[in-house]
Structure 1
Amino acid sequence: MDTAGVTALGLSDEARSLHWLLTDLVEEVPGVLSVAVVSSDGLLLLSSSPERTAPAGPAGAPQPCGARGTEGPRGSTADLATIVAGLGSLTTGAAALMDGGVVKQTMVAMDGGGLFVMTISDGSLLGVHTAPDCDMSIVAYQMALFVGRAGHVLTPELRRELRQSVEAVG
């Protein structure tokens, strides 16, 4: 991997930028409990769980996501990532059977919360678990902003870097 742009924390500027975008999504959108970005082959790339993100850096450096201390399904971002990957696969298969084209977004409304899954341009998925009282339109809008910003930088090299950082922490 080209090391140009790699920071003192061992992450490239692009990886740190995606961590910042994810942190912003979690902290700025009311009702968001947890977030996971999953690669097209189902591997966790980014999450809102502190134990699954970049290490805390010096003042001014991106801090781990999930500052609220809220937890996703069963408290595990790995569980959320598995659910997001499975739901993505299921809806892609359904769309193929129905000649529906590419799945852009999936929403599951439950008594105890919501699950939103949005496709990122490279086939990766953004999954968001929410509280039941969240404003779904705000969540969907903010997810679309994240996808728009992340989609053009999520290169194979960056996905590899993010996956390696998750494995190093996990």
Structure 2
Amino acid sequence: MSATNSAGLLVDSFGRVREAVHEAVEGLTEDELAARVDPDANSIAWLVWHLTRIQDDHLAGAFGTDQLWDADGWRDRFGLPFGKGATGYGQTSAQAGKVRAPADLLLGYHDAVHARTLDLVRSVTNTDLDRVVDAAWDPPVTLGVRLVSVIADALQHAGQAAYVRGVVERR
């Protein structure tokens, strides 16, 4: 698909998120993924879990599908001590520190959400981008705004994870 149309741009953007996540995670041990630059900093594991949870949550809501977190059993596989709908938003430092997972689990969940995301966005048209997906905000949030928000947030967190990786590798 060409990157000159809405769907193509979305596929390309989410592909960049996936690449950044893999670069930040691959080859690290569970301890390295859980390392924190200081006692209150976010770990790579938390950053990647959180950005994936947000993508899973927000796209499921925007497209009216189930979240893979529950529907595909990822919540059970991670075994985190959080409530059912937890995405990491608003968590304390202590809660963030409880996210521990091996690379294959983090990447498995992210790749599953990425595949679902591509299935959902491949058919998005310019007209679809104007559809309101969350009327709780003023102004209401359209699909286009929601997708750009998810991409921007995910890229920021993936960049933070890359930074933490650099610090961890130099220790």
For the criterion TM > 0.5, the same-fold answer is: no
Query: Which structure carries more strand by proportion?
Result: 1
Which of structures 1 and 2 has the larger relative contact order (alpha carbons within 8 angstroms, sep 6+)?
2
TM-score (norm 1): 0.33
Structure index of larger Rg? 2
TM-score (norm 2): 0.33
